[in-house]
Amino acid sequence: MIALKRYLILFILSGILTDSFSQGVSISDTVVIPQAYKPEFRRLRNHEMIDDEQKAILNSDGKTDNLFTPAGEADIDQILTRFVTRKVDALQYLIESDTVIDQRLKVNYLFGLENLLRHFRSNWNQRTGEKKVFYTSLPSIISAYEQCMAVDRRNASIEPVIADLNYDAGLTVLASTIFANNAGYRPSFDRMILKYCALNPSRNLQTLTAYPDVYFADSLIRVIAKRNPKELYDYAQAGNKLGSLIRSINDDELVKTIVRIARSKDGQQYFCFLDNILHKKINFEQIDAAKDDTVLYFRLLVKTRMDYVARALDKDTAYEYEVLQKRLELKAKDNFVNVINGLHTERNADLRFASIQSLTAEELYYLAVSSDGSIYTSSFVKGVYPLMMKKINYHGDSLLLSLHFDKYRKMIKMCAGFNTLDNFLASFPAGNDPEQEDPAVVLMKAFVKNLERSDGLEDGVDVADSYASVAETLKPIADEMLRNIQLNYDRNKEVGNRKGMAIYNILNKLFLSADTTQKIDLTKELGIPPVYEVPFKSLANDSGRVNVQLFIYGDKDGIGVFPGLISMFSNANWKVDGSNPQWVTISSVKRQTCIPVYEPAIA
């Protein structure tokens, strides 16, 4: 805290400009204001307005006193209070008593000081935003205003004064509004906006929307195009001055391409191919030929994804990589998965899965991994997975190699969840060299390895999600996963990788908790509820009763299942109440459990 206080004091003092007013005008501490001093009556109201702003600043820290204490540190707050009071008072006196400047200039400079103080008061305690002013900037703000008056009186540019200020301080001085006709005002303003853009890159286009006339606008647009093409795409469609400026840039191929896509009626259909369009690997005509055909368009998305993945291996990341993936997921779900899910009551597999028959193994793979969480069990087990394996001649290793192992953790996780992992791993050929591990074993080691290198947590979550299913059906593989998790923890511990240690420690605790003999308390160890079991106490309400609501859809399957479900409770342990026409209530005779089973179609 002591070091921080010293730093803040040094920061404040270093920002104080010490140049004095020309012609003897100064706001140094040696200025003594005569007791009998009174402003000239024509300017009395100006002084009163400044005094009111001083009082408002002193009170803006939440305390009605004669101190300005935003820092909560006596030394710092003392400096700030002195500038709000004594420095401003001295500046008022020196403007008022100056014998060189006339009535018009005196009113002008007093009015500017009032505006400056008001801007500071209104914005110093904002948390974020374009107008936020740091309270530590107050000394340099007031000193810079003094300097600007001095150079303005000489008809010189204020730009050298403003140039060295931080963004918030410079904008506050300019907010006095009295220097608008100074030759240095516009370049100073533009410079402050540029500083703001440098500090807030995520708000650049929003800032340019407000200030499209800054001299650096077109240069910044080119930078944004490389950094965030999607953001530029959104703004390029606007019917305002910034939109026109973006569309007027003709000497930058990336900007031109983004503009062309943005102005087309099917912009979203093209945008995910931006990088390949830019590099002449695909053109608008080829996309047009495919975009209205669900299979051809999805095929183009998969082909582009595979191209981008191959390039990423060479450290060549394509523009809008994630936009392509989102588009791929959208089309996979809307055009294929939702179709075969919707036909889940169709007993004829040829009819149900007709929409995916023409897809290649690679396309079926991306169909699967792009629909995790939305694809039905039967859609995966009876349709996508067997067709994918058939089209790759039942060689899962060849499929992963052709895809450069893109999203292989997601595929393993889905296979584990749908109980096809043993079949998938069995499709890997046995190793010819007895001294080398089989490819399937190597794959499962890779599955849990290097999770600390992944962007985000998705890969780690996929590993965690897969374990329970593997432990139930493939115990030897589950045991090997646990050993590899522990080995990877030790590896990260040796090199001091905290992220890796955290990930593998969590996974180790999760995996061990699946074995009740280990008696792992996840709430105690990780501060989370049990993952692989649901304790009775977590289900019971305040009275100790567990209420379960079970909804069965009124389709053919639901109608067929409903009577059988009810019959499961037709014994001495349960009481079945069918008196309500909308649902059946099943209550436990021995425990406090109640199950209302809703089946409107039956009623």
Q: What is the pLDDT of residues 243-296, one digit of tens each?
A: 999 999 999 999 999 999 999 988 989 999 999 999 999 999 999 999 999 999
Q: Which long-range contacts (CB under 8 A, 24 or more apart) does 434-442 make?
A: 439/397, 441/480
pTM: 0.74
Report H helices in 33-178. Answer: 44-59, 74-82, 88-97, 103-123, 138-153, 159-163, 167-174
Residue 2's pLDDT is what?
46
Average pLDDT over residues 135-154: 93
> Considering only CA atoms, which of 229, 325, 221 is closest in space to residue 277?
229
pLDDT of amino acid 394: 95
What's the pLDDT at 595? 60
Give pLDDT, residue 570.
Answer: 84
| Residue 266 Cα to chain centre, angstroms | 26
Could you tell me the pLDDT band of residue 390, with boundaries at 50, 70 and 90? very high
Confidence at 593, pLDDT banded by 50, 70, 90: low
User: Quick count: other Cβ atoms within 10 Å of Cβ 152?
Assistant: 23
Q: Is it the case that residue 4 has pLDDT exceeding 60?
A: no
Q: Where are the alpha helices (DSSP H) in 249-314?
A: 253-263, 267-271, 274-278, 284-290, 294-313
C-alpha to C-alpha distance for 212 and 183, rounded to whole angstroms: 20
Alpha helices, DSSP H, located in 427-474 = 439-447, 458-473
Other beta carbons within 10 angstroms of residue 134's beta carbon come to: 17
How many whole angstroms separate alpha carbon 35 and alpha carbon 51?
A: 17
What DSSP letter does each residue of 465-483 carry, written as one string? Answer: HHHHHHHHH-HHHHHHHHH
Sequence-distant contacts of 198-206: CB under 8 A, at least 24 apart: 199/167, 200/130, 201/227, 203/130, 205/231, 205/232, 205/235, 205/242
Beta carbons of 455 and 471 less than 8 angstroms apart: no
pLDDT of res. 66:
92
pLDDT in tens, 8-32: 444 444 444 443 333 334 454 567 8
Q: Residue 583 pairs with which residues in a beta bridge?
A: 598
Considering only CA atoms, which of 550, 541, 546 is closest in space to residue 583?
550
Q: Over range 138-162, report the average pLDDT.
A: 94
Given a cut of 70, whether residue 602 has pLDDT beyond it is no
Q: Provide φ and ψ at 262, rounded to 5°.
A: -65, -35
Distance CA 120, CA 126 (A): 10
Q: What is the DSSP letter of 11?
A: H
**pLDDT tens, 77-127?**
999 999 999 999 999 999 999 889 999 999 999 999 999 999 999 999 887
For residue 335, CA distances in Å to 10, 16, 257 come to 63, 65, 28
User: Residue 181's Cα: distance from chain center in Å?
Assistant: 42
Q: Is the pLDDT of residue 524 over 80?
A: no
> Among 396, 410, 531, which residue's Cα sits nearest to residue 466?
410
Using 50, 70 and 90 to split pLDDT, how confident is the model at 435?
Answer: confident
Tokens of 18: 């010490």
Could you tell me which residue, 301 or 74, shows the higher pLDDT?
301
Alpha carbon separation from 489 to 349, 386, 465, 468 (Å, rounded):
46, 36, 19, 20
pLDDT number for residue 539: 76
Taking 70 as the threshold, does the pLDDT of residue 594 lie above it? Answer: no
Residue 552's pLDDT is what? Answer: 75
Q: What percent of the chain has pLDDT over 90?
A: 65
**Residues near 561 by beta carbon (within 8 Å), at least 6 away in sequence:** 552
For residue 166, pLDDT over 80 is answered with yes
CA distance linking residue 568 with residue 582, whole number of Å: 20
Q: What's the alpha-carbon Rg for the chain, to the nearest Å?
A: 35
Whether residue 554 is predicted with pLDDT greater than 80 in this model: the reply is no
Cα separation, 435 vs 152, whole angstroms: 85
Contacts of 501 (CB under 8 A, 6+ apart): 489, 492, 493
**For 596, which DSSP code?**
E
- Per-residue pLDDT for 325 more than 50? yes
- Nearest-angstrom CA–CA distance, 9 and 5: 6
Nearest to 294 by CA among 331, 340, 338: 331
Bridge pairing between strands 593-598 and 546-547: parallel
Contact between 153 and 112 (Cβ < 8 Å): no
Highest mean pLDDT among 80-94, 307-321, 351-365, 505-519: 351-365
Which amino acid is located at 55 in the chain? K
pLDDT at 189: 95
Question: How far is residue 369's CA from residue 414's CA, in Å, rounded to a whole number?
Answer: 8
Quote the mean pLDDT of the chain.
88
342: pLDDT strictly greater than 90: yes
